[in-house]
Amino acid sequence: MPLHQLHLKSIQMKKVLAIIIACLFITTQAESQIAWEETSEIAPSSFGNHHPRVVTDANDNPLVIWGKSNNVMFTRWNGTNFTTPVRLNPDTISIAEASWMGPDIAAHGDTIFVVFKQTPENVSSSHIWCIRSDDGGISFSPPVQVDYINDSISRFPTVTTDLLGNPIVGFMKFNPSFGDARWVVTRSDDAGSSFSPDVLASGWSSSTSEVCDCCPGTITSTGNTVAMLYRDNNSNIRDAWAGVSTDQGNTFNGGMNIDQQNWMLAACPASGPDGVIIGDTLYSTYMNGASGSTKVYFNKSSLADMTGSAGNLLTENNPNVGLQNFPRIANSGDAVAIAWKQIVNGNMVSLPMLFTKNIHTGFPSTYDTITLGNVTNSDIALTPEKIYVFWQDDLAGTIKFKSGTYAKPSALQDHFIINDLTAYPNPSAEAWTVEGHSLYPKLNIELFNMQGALVYVDMIETNAGFFLHEIDNTNLIDGLYVLRFSHDHFQQIMKLVKH
């Protein structure tokens, strides 16, 4: 990639090296894989508690946003406690937020993006906005308009990032009469300073289908693949679908039903799907009421051949488990967790969580119960060793959280994502050829100079576990470079010399 196309600012080399280098159905501690800490609150009730969303920064510290009185609030973990919450939207922009929907957040290291929808939602002059932090949430930029859609109407923004840390934003789009609901995606190639025209990501069930117009969606990405997850509305069949892009969200050329329960409903359930991509598989979770009771489902769908499948119940059918809703999924490498709200024993509200250190071996048969009572919705984040769960507690009027520690999957997987890694010639005057073996089908690669600037980025694919990749260095100055290979939170580095 030519140097003039790389827009990420230079950072200090030390920063680069830091990145490189007890009720029914409660799982007992003996069975749990997680050592849980005590439940805490992130802030007093005066700061609000609607619809928390969480990501982690470059040091694996949680960053949380939520809604309060048409504002988006933010706090970050500073190593000791959560900072005093601050409002992120300016006085001139009132935002759409409620217990079931609101702003969204994404992180790429210490670069943070927050998107929110201006109110009133049903007028074309109320836009979707994006703000950015380059220092892990210590400070934020002024808002940048995301949706340039003339007299159309927008709603429900959701955000992820590409390989370079640029934001990719999905949102629901309507005609001026608040009809023709569909999901569209726009992306930025300059770190959120501007956004491209939106492209259609939904409409795969039929030529006349719309989307469920009061159900939020989720956008997720890895490498060149972007998935826009949403609830469809095909003549009142309201299954969960995913539109899929293989060129970082520039176009969406396919979609698949990741639900297949054929839920016929003439109303809007106000609940959407969530998902993560690991390798060539989209793992998703969603609520569906086709059985006559709203239950949470889990699905794994192949992105390689775009074959959706019918979802499976996340928990066994049990007469003591009532309504389930608002599932959220997160991963760190192959470790995956899902949290959701459910009612047990008739009226007891609980927040269960399923966790596996290796999604390829599936989930255990039992789950951890994070809390009992007063759970409206929740969110979850994983790092290579920690799990963070946040939830809206309407009795206390606060956002509560619980963190837990689990053992890393394995030292081999953590530190050696590539075996037999070599680069030649090294030193080199024209190009390096790197080769090795990996269990992962795709690996991200980034090349940094000794000033900490990112000078090359790409993705490599393995063939029967082997890869061979060439990096042109003719435009680079002589000196030492650091090449980083990464797969989710796992990474491996090597030194290269241009001479």
Please give the average per-residue pLDDT across 16-39, as a whole number.
53
Q: Is the predicted pLDDT of residue 63 greater than 50, yes or no?
A: yes
Work out the percent of the chain whose per-residue pLDDT is above 90.
Answer: 74
In the predicted structure, residue 1 carries a pLDDT above the cut 50: no
**pLDDT over 70 (residue 410):** no
What percent of the chain clears pLDDT 70, i.e. is strictly above it? 91
Q: 231, 273 in Cβ contact below 8 A?
A: yes
Q: What is the pLDDT of residue 29?
A: 33
Contacts of residue 463, Cβ cutoff 8 Å, sequence gap at least 6:
none
Q: How confident is the model at residue 409 (pLDDT cuts 50, 70, 90)?
A: low
- What DSSP character marks residue 249? T
Mean pLDDT over the full length of the chain: 89
> Is the Cα dihedral 23, 24, 29, 32 positive or negative?
negative
Between strands 210-211 and 225-233, the pairing is antiparallel
Which are the contacts of 428, defined by CB distance < 8 A and separation ≥ 6?
473, 496, 497, 498, 499
Rounded Cα–Cα distance for residues 37 and 35 (Å): 7
pLDDT reported for residue 4: 35
Tens of pLDDT along 131-144? Answer: 999 999 999 999 99
Which pLDDT score, from 0 to 100, does residue 32 have?
Answer: 61
Question: CATH code for 24-405?
Answer: 2.120.10.10
From 144, 26, 22, 21, select the one nearest 89 (Cα to Cα): 144
State CA 286 to chain mean position distance: 15
Sequence ranges of the domains in the chain: 24-405, 412-498
Token pair of 433, please?
């050829």
Sign of the CA dihedral running 290, 296, 298, 299: positive
For every residue of 132-179, DSSP letters joined together read EESSTTSS-PPPEE----TT-EEEEEEEEE-TTS-EEEEEEEE-TTS-
pLDDT band at 454; cut points 50, 70, 90: confident
Angle 247-249-255 (CA atoms, 0-180°, nearest 5)? 90
331: number of Cβ within 10 Å: 23
Kindly give, in sequence order, each residue whose CB lies less than 8 Å from that of residue 4, ignoring residues fewer than 6 positions away.
none
Each residue of 180-211: pLDDT tens digit? 999 999 999 999 999 999 999 999 999 999 99
CA distance 127 to 129: 6
Whether the per-residue pLDDT at 20 is higher than 90: the answer is: no
Whether the pLDDT of residue 230 is over 70: the answer is yes
Assigned token pair, 189 = 């190639």
Angle, vertex CA 310, rays to CA 307 and CA 313, nearest 5: 140
Q: Is the pTM of this model over 0.85?
A: no
> For residue 442, what pLDDT is reported?
86
pLDDT in tens, 94-114: 999 999 999 999 999 999 999
The pair of structure tokens assigned to 218 is 């989720």
Q: Which two tokens stand for residue 106?
A: 């994404």
Sheet with 86-87, strands from edge to edge, namely 50-56, 62-68, 71-76, 86-87
Mean pLDDT of 279-305: 93
- pLDDT value of position 168: 98
Q: Is the pLDDT of residue 274 over 50?
A: yes
Residue 234 has pLDDT above 50, yes or no: yes
The mean pLDDT value for 84-103 works out to 98
Query: Selecting from 1.10.3720.10, 1.10.10.10, 3.40.50.1440, 2.60.40.10, what CATH number does the domain 412-498 have?
Result: 2.60.40.10
- pLDDT above 50 (res 12): no
Range scoring the smallest mean pLDDT among 13-27, 235-249, 304-318: 13-27
**Confidence at residue 8, expressed as pLDDT on a 0 to 100 scale:** 39
CA-to-CA distance for 122 and 96, rounded, in angstroms?
Answer: 11
* Confidence at 488, pLDDT banded by 50, 70, 90: low
Are residues 22 and 36 in contact, defined by beta-carbon separation less than 8 angstroms? no
Q: Using the predicted structure, report yes or no on whether residue 313 has a pLDDT greater than 80.
A: yes
Task: Compute the Cα dihedral for 276, 437, 165, 493 and give only its sign.
Answer: positive
- Rounding to the nearest 10 degrees, give the CA dihedral for residues 150, 151, 153, 154: 10
Average pLDDT over residues 364-374: 91
The DSSP secondary-structure symbol of 225 reads E
Question: What is the structure's pLDDT at 419?
Answer: 84
